[in-house]
Amino acid sequence: MSSQKKILFLGSGYVAGPCFRVLLTRPENVITVACRHIQTAQNLCNGHGNTRAISLDVSNQQALEEQVSQHDLVISLIPYTLHAKVIQAAIKYKKHVVTTSYISPAMQELHQQAVDAGITVFNEVGVDPGIDHLYAIKMITQVHNEGGKVVGFYSYCGGLPAPEDSNNPLGYKFSWSSRGVLLALRNDAKYWKDGKIEETPGSRLMDLAKPIYIYPAFAFEGYPNRDSTPYTKRYNIPECRDLIRGTLRYQGFPKFVKALVGLGFLSDEPVEYLSAKSTPIAWNQVLQKVTGASSTNEQELIAAIIKKSAIPQEDQSRIISGFRWLGFFSDTKVHLKENLLDTLCATLEEKMQYEENERDMVMLQHRFEIENKDGSHETRTSTGLWFGVPGGESAMARTVGVPCGITTQLILDGKIKEKGVLAPMTLELCQPIIEALEKEGITMVEAVI
């Protein structure tokens, strides 16, 4: 009987390469890459043995089921809204599934069916979510085993350009959809503070940004990331009174974004003068319309921006200089994208891409405020910093793709046996992934402050 393991790879995004690399170190693994456009799948398979490329439209349930039925495990790297369809097909044919996405309500609903089918549907095994969970659970379990309590938990993660390549007004570059990055800036925030749930609307999210001190060499600011409140349950720390999971950006990013929000640039409401059929319009004309300035004269536009966005005096020259860099005061024609958000995205994507030989980095830190068994208090940290390789794997692709590949292999090897719709929320699930990641050089450093 063949010991061949057949893996169906749905999608071929930027994290696929490192995941591939991990799985193809094992000669028994045979991978089918399925994309809507076969050329995309062929590009990923190029030069790799034990792989084949096919065209597959995941929205075609019959075609999806046919492919799922022929494999042992499915890695789903397609948009998270489609994962439930994939899991349903996997339940029908009793096949395992791995995703790097958060478990959505639609996915969670399939838990009992997955248990009954005897399959493992493992999710949240990238970097954030993923590596963050692994080291949070590791430390929390250790503290609890020592008889202590975790009374405060603060976790911040950011995918950013390396310092030398953070050379634009936002200190940011896009390795994925700029729209996704900007939409995340509109999310409401929920977190625990002094044992109570605090809520802040997305329109005021940047007001919560504050300096986050990790290493002296970095000037970071952080703000809450969506809803942190379930994590007292997910991480089994009901004693925790302060809990925030947040996003890291370089200093200045939040105030720059706040100015954009003040001008309405994060709105995806249709705007007539930006419709595809409209007359071409320049950036300075768009700015005149959003600010209500009397003309496209630069000084008048600047005065109108400062007034409408209420930019504090100490930030004015930096933010206005950034707007100038984006071309807001120029007569350059905008890309007509129906609304302000997508019109802005088109310009950001032009100006804020990684250039050849530039590198990204991922910074992740947990801070645990601990009350020890003897009543004493201490702060512990878990810190991860990973850099991309110019011309090679990006830090983001590596820290998402490698945990995904490792988890897949652990399931295929029978080392992860738990069934149902899972995330790494117990030490039993986390420990084998941590050990395999450390062999790949991906680790977080623990310290007592």
> Which tokens hold the place of 94?
């009793």
Nearest one of 359, 414, 417 to 386, comparing CA atoms:
359
For position 2, what pLDDT does the model report? 52
The tens digit of pLDDT for each residue in 185-197 reads: 999 999 999 999 9
pLDDT in tens, the chain (449 residues): 358 999 999 988 788 899 999 999 999 999 999 999 999 999 989 878 899 999 999 999 999 999 999 999 999 999 899 999 999 999 999 999 999 999 999 999 999 999 999 999 999 999 999 999 999 999 999 999 999 999 999 999 999 999 999 999 999 998 777 888 898 899 999 999 999 999 999 999 999 999 999 999 999 999 999 999 999 999 999 999 999 999 999 999 999 999 999 999 999 999 999 999 999 999 999 999 999 999 999 999 999 999 999 999 999 999 999 999 999 999 999 999 999 999 999 999 999 999 999 999 999 999 999 999 999 999 999 999 999 999 899 999 999 999 999 999 999 999 999 999 999 999 999 999 999 999 999 999 999 99
The tens digit of pLDDT for each residue in 304-359 reads: 999 999 999 999 999 999 999 999 999 999 999 999 999 999 999 999 999 999 99
CA distances from 347 to 105, 178, 333, 351 (A): 35, 10, 10, 6
> What is the phi-psi region of residue 3: left when phi exceeds 0, alpha when psi lies from -120 to 50, beta otherwise?
alpha
Q: What does the DSSP assignment read for 61-119?
A: HHHHHHHHHT-SEEEE-S-GGGHHHHHHHHHHHT-EEEESSPPPHHHHTTHHHHHHHT-
Q: For the chain, state the CA radius of gyration.
A: 24
For position 1, what pLDDT does the model report? 38
Find the catalytic residue in 72, 128, 360, 374: 128
Q: State the pairing for strand pair 189-193/196-200.
A: antiparallel
Helix (H, G, I), strand (E, B) or coil at 57: coil
pTM assigned to the model:
0.94
Measured distance CA(187)–CA(184) in Å, rounded:
5
Active site residue 227: no
- Tokens 């705007």 sit at which residue? 271
CA distances from 389 to 104, 221, 329, 440 (A): 33, 25, 36, 15
> Which tokens hold the place of 377?
């208090």
